[in-house]
Chain A
Amino acid sequence: MSLAAEAFVSQIAAAEPWPENAALFQPLKEDQILLSDSASSLAVQTFLRMCGLPVLVSCRANAEYMSPSGKVPFIHVGNQVVSELGPIVQFTKAKGHSLSDGLDDVQRAEMKAYMELVNNMLQTAELYIQWCDDYTATEISRPRYSSPYSWPLNHILAYQKQWEVRRKMNAIGWSGKSLEQVYEDVSQCCQALSQRLGTQPYFFNKQPTELDALVFGHLFTILTTQLTNDELAEKVKSYTNLLSFCHRIEQTYFKEHDRESQSGSSRHSKGSLP
């Protein structure tokens, strides 16, 4: 969206309050969604819960194609469609709900920097593990991604997505990395987050911000998703304050969600934290 269109949209957004029938769209939870998409979706859901805004999660097989930017999740509010956490945060801010108003300029700079760290390291690592590691791609990613479609479309779409992700990894210089190096990067990222969090309840003291939502989304998904091996989850588990951070947010914001999901927990996700 160009800048003028964005300003226009946020003006319109400011005019109406948050409706009751806001919906969040993501790929099918049981069979289709992958680690990276699930992490982004959970981050957005957590953010909206932290703001106290109701949203209905709706699963569609073609969510990726419905999204205006090609990325999931996206929310449908009123007559607007916004995708990805960054634009959604701006959109809710235009509607008058913001978590980071109390921060001064330096803290805001730090928050944005840490959010970029999570996007740059954790999300890229998730994409790498899913699509550039041949074993995971063959066993998990390609079958899951193409499960709603019949032959030969499933093969074509799966390979197309894999090719796109590998091109992107090539462009940013991650294609030369080995799996061990990627795990090492994840570990360093978690170490940085752990050191920043320290003993505080949230990253910016008492109040949760979008950074907390983003970190929770990624870490919780990594901890509760079964991959070919558990090495990624082990890297995260070695930082106890991050584990307790995830527990705390899960208890505070997802108590009802847990009760619903335990009755129908999926094969892919292990449900709640161990």
Chain B
Amino acid sequence: MLDSVQAAVHVSVMHTNMAEPMELLCWGGDWDLPSVHTDSLIVLAYGKFSGAKLAVKSIDWTWRTITASVPQLHYEGTTVTEPTQILNFLRKQRFNADYELTAKQGADTMAYIALLEEKLRPALLHTFWVDAENYANLTRPWFTSHSPFPLNFFVPGRQASLALSRILLTKAESPLLNITEVEGKIYSEAKECLNLLSHRLGNFHFFFGDTPTSLDAFVFGHIAPLIKAPLPSGQLQKHLNQLDNLCQFCNTILRNYFTDASAEKRMDCSPTATHDPVDANLQKLTQLVNKESNLIEKMDDNLRSSPQHRPHRHETKPLAPVSEKNSTPP
């Protein structure tokens, strides 16, 4: 299947140079995201920011779930893996979202990406792959349902063991520590990292002014799954939800660059528009309730004042106007 795609790519290369798409293999999407995998999201976001035409092929339900290292970019016979390498490759192909950055901002980009990798990624891996509740209720079912038989028995387990070994080897400081002692440390570092990112972002739309760059792609790739995934136990998610500017940042990117993916769910796309129908509905409902309560009051009065119920003598006065209205309702 890949050969035929490559052949098609070769044919179109002879005609045009830039226009034919580069093929990107990545995990599929869910929870309003184009992909649930951090590295794939980074490449997808950067592709949108730099205007590169990427033909996205999801590896769900294929054998590539266990054979391929995702994300993978195929172009004219070359294969590039790893987000950093893919971004370098795209830049060489003149799809550069960092064109307007100064040298210092470029250096800052490298530094912040290192910060994300060291401080945030271990906690993300732990939240999705090592935390027992999340793994059993969310991650494993998702990856199992998106892998073909018989790989669905192996794929989640393999990813989970890779994640655990990565956390232990980089963060557990001596051979004697086990995962529970490292947990506290990695979560506090991740929360600190999120706070630092929030401070750096401030009130701006993107990290370097008004146009998104590769740093925005990296941050988006890391925090978007954390915001959008319905995690049963997510202390890091709760912490992130308190940082409004990061949530806004994520939603802005989704709204402006990935509207195709979330077109079915318009409610989430445009949060402001939903307020109006909700308010209108609420108003109508309130009016109906008020009318109902008025009617109920009237009926109550009628019942009290009806002759069959042996009315009190001192209520004869209101009887007159009530009995007049009594005739009109059916």
List residues of A whose CB falls within 8 A of some B CB: 2-3, 68-71, 105-106, 108-110, 112-114, 116-117, 119-121, 167-168, 171-173, 188-189, 191-193, 195-196, 198
Contact = CB atoms under 8 A, between A and B. Distances in A.
Interface string B137-169: 000000000000000000000000010011001
Contacts of A171: 162, 165-166, 169-170
Contacts of B174: 68-70
A152 B162 CA distance: 33
Interface stretch (B3-11, B192-200, B283-291, B306-314): B192-200
A124 to B, nearest CB: 10
Contacts of A116: 111, 114-115, 117-119
B181 A2 contact: yes
A191 B173 CA distance: 30
Contacts of B110: 117, 188-189, 192
A117 B170 contact: no
Contacts of B104: 195-196, 198
Nearest to B118: A116
A253 to B, nearest CB: 24
Most buried by B among A2, A71, A198: A2
A106 B199 contact: yes
SS of A interface (majority)? helix
Given A168-B169, A192-B110, 18 more contacts: A3-B188, A69-B174, A70-B175, A110-B111, A112-B196, A113-B114, A113-B115, A113-B196, A116-B111, A116-B118, A116-B119, A117-B114, A120-B117, A167-B169, A168-B170, A172-B170, A192-B106, A195-B104
Contacts of B106: 192, 195
A25 to B, nearest CB: 16
Interface string B182-195: 00110010000000
A117 B165 contact: no
Contact of A192 (B111, B170, B196): B111
Contacts of A191: 107
Contacts of B19: none
A71 B173 contact: yes
A172 B166 contact: yes
Contacts of A110: 108, 111, 200
A120 B118 contact: yes
A118 B199 CA distance: 21
A171 B164 CA distance: 10
25 contacts: A2-B184, A3-B185, A106-B199, A106-B202, A108-B196, A108-B199, A109-B199, A109-B200, A114-B111, A116-B114, A116-B119, A117-B114, A119-B118, A120-B117, A167-B169, A171-B162, A171-B169, A171-B170, A173-B82, A189-B110, A192-B111, A195-B104, A196-B107, A196-B108, A198-B104
